[in-house]
């Protein structure tokens, strides 16, 4: 399977909520990992700004994320678990490899 889309999201977590976010993300990641078209996921924490996280998710097609995941009942649970941790709300971008 070739995963050609990388979802890139900088997650600004509310100061002081980092440990709660990381624990909750461990539960939430199983939701996205179960979605059709999902390839891989990495979550990294900034060294310089510990409240900033980088989420990278690989998908087969952009529609697997924008339509499949976001329109699924599972996405509602993802939102309930994670969206209250962000301030401001993150911007999602999609990238495709060129090299």
Question: pLDDT tier at 3 (50, 70, 90 boundaries)?
Answer: confident
pLDDT at 99: 80
| Digit-coded pLDDT (tens) for 48-66 | 999 999 999 999 999 999 9
Contact 28, 82 (CB under 8 A): yes
Q: Top-level CATH class of 5-96?
A: alpha beta
- 48-67 per-residue burial string, b: 16 or more CB within 10 A, e: under 16: eeebbbebebbbbebebbee
Residue 46 CA to its chain's centroid (Å): 15
Instruction: Sort residue 16 into left (φ over 0), alpha (ψ -120 to 50) or beta.
Output: left
Question: pLDDT tier at 1 (50, 70, 90 boundaries)?
Answer: confident
| Digit-coded pLDDT (tens) for 11-53 | 999 999 999 999 999 999 999 999 999 999 999 999 999 999 9
Alpha helices, DSSP H only, in the chain? 18-33, 62-63, 73-82
């Amino acid at each position: 399977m070739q995963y050609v889309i990388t979802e890139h999201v900088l997650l600004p977590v509310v100061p002081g909520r980092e440990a709660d976010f990381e624990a909750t993300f461990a539960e939430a990641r199983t939701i996205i990992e179960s979605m059709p078209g999902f390839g891989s996921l990495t979550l990294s924490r900034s060294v310089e700004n510990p409240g900033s996280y980088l989420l990278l998710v690989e998908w087969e097609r952009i529609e697997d994320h924008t339509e499949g995941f976001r329109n699924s009942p599972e996405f509602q649970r993802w939102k309930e678990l994670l969206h209250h941790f962000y301030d401001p709300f993150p911007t999602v971008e999609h990238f495709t490899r060129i090299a």
